[in-house]
Amino acid sequence: MVEVTLAPCNHSLSGEIKVPGDKSISHRAIILGSLANGVTKITNFLDGEDCLRTIHAFQSMGVPITQEGSTVTIHGKGFSALEEPKEPLYFGNSGTTTRLMLGILSGLNLFTTIYGDESLTKRPMDRVVNPLREMNATIDGRNDGKLLPLSIRGKKLRGIEYTLPVKSAQVKSAVLLAGLFAEGKTTVIEKIGTRDHTENMLEAFGADITRNGLSTTVTSNNELIASDVQVPGDISSAAFFLVAGAIVPGSEITLKNVGLNETRTGIIDVLIKMGADLEIKNKRLVSGEWIGDITIRHSELNGITIDGDIIPRLIDEIPIIALLASQANGETVIKDAEELRVKETDRIAAVVDVLSTLGANIQGTEDGMIIKGKTPLKGGKVLAYHDHRIAMMSAIASLVANDHVTIDDASSISISYPSFFDHLNSLI
């Protein structure tokens, strides 16, 4: 437990930040680099706990992976060279590692058991286990395979056509990755688009993949070819400072090299719709992903409704958007975000608890929240629920609070943004 107390900030924020690498892309780079033949060099890799779990998983299967800061080198020998891990694989807090690895482990000729921390042990795995079982996977575990720990007896899979019942890129990715080892074609159809980094990277690594709107098909029997990956800055991490710049009077912050993949930029659309003064410069394509520099300046903001197709494009940003809404005039309604109930914690309950403790006018609903602003925030002691995004939202809230904010445990921040407090202090 690392209790942190933050003093109110009585002045504007200014400066330039290079946020760390994207978490989703860092995981996928390790996964595809480890399955591929040849040397994959990853730069700007996110050196956060979740991504380190993915590295460890492949090291346990005999893949030589070395790391020097944010540069990772993988000497891949193809997926047939992967070895059976001698011990159960521990995935800590990482839902992405767990769900994506389930897709891979199901199709390799290996036996594995996997487990995680208290939070991960409560999160639903049937959303991945069900389609994988349809593909002939042998997975068993607690509660008939709905919950960790799980054991996987990998074997030859068969391709399926699967329409995603949940708006989840993790489920989509698990099925597509399993498709690499399946007989015939594996097609995933989405009703609403979710982040497409797996598809982008499969293309870059030479997989046999075809995309047609919200339908993606992978065919097996192909060898992946190593490909260097330059990881963009994580827009989900940038979001905390975008909101800080928008709500702290007089501020101007620039975030460099931020990932601008359209499946992730819902936060930018929301900021603009609420009236933020935001500018994107230097937009360019790097390793198959758009990146650019974002400058945000403080401005008057107005409440809006956030629902429907935009939700998967900002699902991880909803905690910080709730804080933003508390500093906007009028009502903000967030709907269709029931997935928040099954994140690292129940993020609807956690956000409502933290922000109402600090004096915001916020009410939880089954699938979202309603926030009425603008409300001055007060100090207080908040619980971060061992959730990195709740802890960082609380820290940003302290910037507009009129007294000290104490966060019960900020250690979870190392999951996705180990340098968060250094960056925050550099702006103050």
Of 106-114, 169-177, 254-262, 323-331, the window that binds ligand S3P (rule: CB under 6 A) is 169-177
In the complex, the smallest distance separating the C-beta of residue 342 from ligand S3P, rounded to whole angstroms, is 8
By the rule CB under 6 A, 173 interacts with ligand S3P: yes
By the rule CB under 6 A, 50 interacts with ligand S3P: no
For residue 213, say whether it is annotated as part of any ligand binding site: no
Residue 18 has φ and ψ, to the nearest 5°, of -110, 100
Q: Looking at 316, 318, 396, 405, which residue binds ligand S3P (CB under 6 A)?
A: 316
Task: Name which of 15 and 193 has its Cβ closer to ligand S3P.
Answer: 193
Q: Yes or no: say if 124 and 99 are a contact pair by the CB < 8 Å rule.
A: no
Asked if the peptide bond before residue 149 counts as cis, ω within 30 degrees of 0, the response is yes
Output helix, strand, coil percentages for the chain, rounded to the nearest 5: 35, 30, 35
Question: Residues in the chain, how many?
Answer: 428
Distance CA 213, CA 252 (A): 38
By the rule CB under 6 A, 169 interacts with ligand S3P: yes
Distance CA 206, CA 227 (A): 9
217 bridge partner residues: 187, 210
Residue of closest CB approach to ligand S3P: 24
For residue 398, say whether it is annotated as part of any ligand binding site: no
Q: What are the helix (H) ranges across 184-342?
A: 197-204, 235-247, 266-274, 318-326
Q: Looking at 6, 246, 315, 320, which residue binds ligand S3P (CB under 6 A)?
A: 315
By the rule CB under 6 A, 24 interacts with ligand S3P: yes
Q: Looking at 199, 234, 317, 339, which residue binds ligand S3P (CB under 6 A)?
A: 339
In the complex, the smallest distance separating the C-beta of residue 172 from ligand S3P, rounded to whole angstroms, is 7
Respond yes or no: is residue 316 known to be catalytic: yes
By the rule CB under 6 A, 98 interacts with ligand S3P: no
Asked whether the CA dihedral 315, 69, 98, 118 is positive or negative, the reply is: negative
In the complex, the smallest distance separating the C-beta of residue 103 from ligand S3P, rounded to whole angstroms, is 11
Distance CA 139, CA 128 (A): 10
402 C-beta neighbours (distance < 10 Å), count: 12
Residue with tokens 């339908």: 215
In the complex, the smallest distance separating the C-beta of residue 316 from ligand S3P, rounded to whole angstroms, is 5
In the complex, the smallest distance separating the C-beta of residue 169 from ligand S3P, rounded to whole angstroms, is 4
For residue 168, say whether it is annotated as part of any ligand binding site: yes
Question: Which string of x and - marks every residue 266-305 that binds ligand S3P (by CB under 6 A)?
Answer: ----------------------------------------
Three-class SS of residue 284?
strand
By the rule CB under 6 A, 26 interacts with ligand S3P: no
Would you state the structure tokens that stand for residue 103, as one six-digit string? 């897709």
Would you state the structure tokens that stand for residue 186, as one six-digit string? 């594996």
Compute, in degrees rounded to 10, the torsion defined by CA atoms 165, 169, 173, 175: 0
For residue 343, say whether it is annotated as part of any ligand binding site: yes
Q: For the packed helices 347-357 and 388-398, what is the interaxial angle rounded to 10 degrees?
A: 20
For residue 23, say whether it is annotated as part of any ligand binding site: yes
Of 33-41, 168-176, 369-377, 393-401, the window that binds ligand S3P (rule: CB under 6 A) is 168-176
Name residue 368's amino acid.
G
By the rule CB under 6 A, 170 interacts with ligand S3P: yes
Q: Yes or no: say if 139 and 132 are a contact pair by the CB < 8 Å rule.
A: yes
Asked whether the CA dihedral 57, 260, 128, 317 is positive or negative, the reply is: positive
Task: Name which of 49 and 339 has its Cβ closer to ligand S3P.
Answer: 339
Which of 22, 293, 316, 387 is catalytic? The answer is 316
| Total residues binding ligand S3P (CB under 6 A) | 11
Catalytically active residues are: 316
Residues marked as binding for 3-phosphoshikimate?
23-24, 28, 168, 170, 316, 343
Binding site for phosphoenolpyruvate, residues?
23, 95, 123, 170, 347, 389
User: Interface with ligand S3P by CB under 6 A: which residues?
Assistant: 24, 96, 168-170, 173, 194-195, 315-316, 339
Binding residues: 23-24, 28, 95, 123, 168, 170, 316, 343, 347, 389
